[in-house]
C-alpha cells in the first residue's frame, strides 16, 4: 500500500542497525493502525451521505387510497391536492401555530340583567318527539336503537320548520325490549326538570380529567340559579374518585352536579357524548337556555354574561364559534382521514351524500355566504331553547346518529339545508370568532383519544 511504502522507505534510510530493526517493526504496526483508521473514516462518510440522500435527495412515495375505491395506488408525497375533490392526505404543517384569545366585551356584572323582549320574536311552531317505535312489518330482524330507525323520507320531512313529531334520540323499542340507553336515576331527572338555565359537559370512558369551573369567576346569582351538570358513566366516576374527586352529600364536585349515566347507547364514546351535547333541550326539558362545553375546558366566565353577550346582544338563538383553522368541509374531511378519526369509507360516503344534496365549497369571497365558516369549533355552544333551535339540534344529532360521529362534517350541511327548506322561517344562528371562545375558558388536552370505531351504519 502507498502508506506502507512511504513508511518503509523512511525506515530504510536508518540502515540495518538494531535500532533500525525496532523502527521497522513499529512502522509496520503504525501502518496497520493508519490503514484501519482510513477505512473507518471512509465508512463513516459513506453512511452520512446515504442518510442525507434518503432524507433530502429522493422523491418519497407513499401508499394512499382513492376516494370511493377499494384499491391502493402510489402517489407522490409532493403531489398537489385539489381544493374540493378529496384525495389522499393533506401535508403536515412544519410548525404548530399559536392561537390566542381576544378581547370580549362582557358586562362588568350580572346585576340588573334583563332578558330582552325580542327573544320571543323567534320562529314559533310545535315540536314533539318520537318516544317509542314499533317493529316494521317488513323487518325480520329488529333491534331497538337510541336514535330510532328514521327512513330517508322521514329525514327529509323533518327539515321543515313546522308542527311535527320527529326522531330526536331517547327512542324506546316496543314493550318487552330492553332500554336503548342513556339511563338516568329518577332523582337526577327530577333535578334536571327544575333547571331553567343549564351548563353541561360529559366524560365517558374515563377520557378526560375533571375540570371544575373557576368558582371566583362565577357570580353568586349564577351559583344559585344555574345548573352545572357533568354527565359521567360509572367507569369515569371510579377513575375520578381514585384521583380524589369524590362527590359530596349533594352529589357535587365543586360546582358540578355529577349525574351518572348507565347503559351507554353507543360503543363509540364520541357518539355517546353527542347526546348531552346536542339534546340539552331533552335532558333539561323546562330550561330556557343552555351552555355546552367540552370536557377539555375549564369555564372561566359567568354563564349569564355569556348568554347576554352571545345571544341577547346579537339577538340570536344559537351561537357557536368557527374553527380556528379550517373553513371548508372538504378540508375537515381530509384532516379526519389524515388523523384516522373515523372509518375512511364512512367519511367518504357521508361527504359524497352531502355533495349530492347541495353542499358546495365554502367561498369566503362570496357576499351571500350565510356563515363565516362551514366548519365549527363545536366544543362550546350557547343556545336558547326555541323551537327552531331545538329542531336544528335534533337534525344535527340525527346526522351524527346516521353517519359518523364527527359532527364538524355535518354542521354546515344541516344548517344550510334547514335554511334552504324554510326561506320564510329564519333561524338566528351566530357564529363567533374562535379567539372569543378561547377567552371564555382555559383549554387542556384530552386524557386519551378513543380508538376509531368500525364500519358505519347503513344509510
d(CA 247, CA 179): 27
What pLDDT is recorded for position 39? Answer: 73
Rounded Cα distance, 44 and 23, in Å = 31
Print burial letters for 399-438: b (CB count within 10 Å at least 16), e (below 16).
bbbbbbbbbbbbbbbbbbbbbeebeebebbbbbbbbbbbb
What string of pLDDT tens digits covers the 459 residues of the chain? 444 444 454 444 444 544 444 544 555 554 555 566 667 777 777 777 777 666 655 443 333 332 333 332 222 323 333 344 444 445 555 566 788 999 999 999 999 898 887 666 799 999 999 999 988 877 778 899 999 999 999 999 999 999 999 999 999 999 989 999 999 999 999 999 999 999 999 999 998 999 999 999 999 999 999 999 999 999 999 999 999 999 999 999 999 999 999 999 999 999 999 999 999 999 999 999 999 999 999 999 999 999 999 999 999 999 999 999 999 999 999 999 999 999 999 999 999 999 999 999 999 999 999 999 999 999 999 999 999 999 999 999 999 999 999 999 999 999 999 999 999 999 999 999 999 999 999 988 777 655 445 445 445
The alpha helices in 363-448, defined as continuous H runs, are 387-402, 411-421, 434-440
Say if pTM beats, i.e. exceeds, 0.75. yes
Residue 183 — φ and ψ, nearest 5°?
Answer: -85, 130
Within 13 A of 452's CA, how many CA atoms are on the CB side?
17
Beta bridge partners of 197: 289
243's grid cell: 384521583
End-to-end CA separation in angstroms for the chain: 78
Q: Is 163 helix (H, G, I), strand (E, B) or coil?
A: coil
Residue 396 neighbours by CB under 8 Å, 6+ apart: 278, 407, 410, 411, 414
CA distance 136 to 144: 11
| Residue ranges covered by each domain of the chain | 125-135+143-443
Nearest of 97, 106, 201, 104 to residue 435 by alpha carbon: 104
Distance of alpha carbon 141 from alpha carbon 121, whole angstroms = 46
3-class DSSP string for 38-100? HHHHHHHHHHHHHHHHHHHHCCCEEEEECCCCCCEEEEECCCCCCCCCCCCCCCCCCCCCCCC
Grid coordinates belonging to 451: 380508538
- Cell of residue 326, nine digits: 379550517
SS3 319: strand
Strands (DSSP E) along 194-262, which ranges? 197-203, 227-232, 252-253, 256-262
Q: Are 249 and 258 in contact (CB under 8 A)?
A: no
CB atoms closer than 10 angstroms to residue 41: 9
According to the model, what pLDDT value does residue 263 have?
97
Amino acid at each position: 500500500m502507498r502508506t506502507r511504502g512511504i513508511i518503509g522507505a523512511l525506515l530504510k534510510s536508518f540502515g540495518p542497525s538494531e535500532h533500525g530493526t525496532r523502527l521497522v517493526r513499529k512502522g509496520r504496526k503504525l501502518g496497520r493502525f493508519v490503514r484501519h483508521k482510513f477505512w473507518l473514516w471512509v465508512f463513516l462518510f459513506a453512511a452520512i451521505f446515504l442518510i442525507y440522500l434518503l432524507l433530502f435527495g429522493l422523491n418519497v412515495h407513499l401508499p394512499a387510497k382513492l376516494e370511493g375505491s377499494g384499491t391502493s395506488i402510489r402517489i407522490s408525497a409532493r403531489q398537489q391536492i385539489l381544493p374540493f375533490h378529496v384525495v389522499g392526505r393533506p401535508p403536515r404543517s412544519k410548525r404548530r401555530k399559536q392561537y390566542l384569545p381576544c378581547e370580549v366585551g362582557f358586562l362588568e356584572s350580572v346585576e340588573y340583567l334583563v332578558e330582552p323582549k325580542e327573544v320571543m320574536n323567534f320562529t314559533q311552531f310545535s315540536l314533539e318527539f318520537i318516544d317509542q317505535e314499533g317493529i316494521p312489518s317488513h323487518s325480520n330482524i329488529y333491534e331497538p336503537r337510541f336514535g330510532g330507525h328514521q327512513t330517508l323520507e322521514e329525514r327529509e320531512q323533518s327539515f321543515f320548520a313546522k308542527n311535527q313529531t320527529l326522531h330526536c334520540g331517547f327512542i324506546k323499542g316496543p314493550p318487552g325490549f330492553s332500554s336503548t340507553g342513556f339511563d338516568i336515576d329518577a332523582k337526577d331527572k327530577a333535578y334536571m326538570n327544575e333547571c331553567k338555565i343549564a351548563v353541561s359537559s360529559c366524560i365517558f370512558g374515563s377520557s378526560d380529567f375533571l375540570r371544575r369551573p373557576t368558582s371566583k369567576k362565577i357570580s353568586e346569582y349564577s351559583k344559585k340559579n344555574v345548573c352545572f351538570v357533568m354527565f359521567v358513566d360509572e367507569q369515569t366516576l371510579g377513575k375520578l374518585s381514585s384521583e380524589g374527586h369524590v362527590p359530596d352529600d349533594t352529589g357535587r364536585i365543586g360546582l358540578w352536579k355529577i349525574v351518572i349515566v348507565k347503559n351507554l347507547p353507543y360503543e363509540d364514546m364520541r357518539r355517546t357524548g353527542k347526546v348531552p351535547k346536542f339534546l340539552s333541550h331533552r335532558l333539561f326539558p323546562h330550561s330556557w337556555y343552555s351552555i355546552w362545553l367540552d370536557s377539555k375546558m375549564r369555564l372561566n366566565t359567568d354563564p349569564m354574561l355569556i348568554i347576554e353577550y352571545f345571544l341577547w346582544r346579537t339577538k340570536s338563538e344559537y351561537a357557536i364559534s368557527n374553527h380556528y383553522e379550517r373553513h371548508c368541509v372538504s378540508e375537515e374531511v381530509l384532516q379526519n382521514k389524515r388523523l384516522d378519526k373515523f372509518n375512511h369509507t364512512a367519511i367518504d360516503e357521508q361527504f359524497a351524500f352531502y355533495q349530492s344534496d347541495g353542499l358546495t365549497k365554502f367561498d369566503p369571497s362570496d357576499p351571500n355566504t350565510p356563515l363565516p365558516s362551514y366548519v365549527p369549533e363545536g366544543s362550546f355552544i350557547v343556545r336558547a331553547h326555541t323551537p327552531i333551535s331545538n329542531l336544528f339540534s335534533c337534525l344535527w344529532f340525527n346526522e351524527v346518529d346516521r353517519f359518523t360521529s364527527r359532527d364538524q362534517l355535518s354542521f354546515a350541511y344541516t344548517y344550510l339545508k334547514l335554511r334552504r327548506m324554510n326561506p320564510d322561517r329564519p333561524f338566528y344562528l351566530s357564529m363567533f370568532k374562535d379567539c372569543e371562545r378561547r377567552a371564555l375558558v382555559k383549554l387542556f388536552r384530552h386524557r386519551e383519544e378513543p380508538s376509531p370505531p368500525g364500519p358505519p351504519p347503513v344509510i
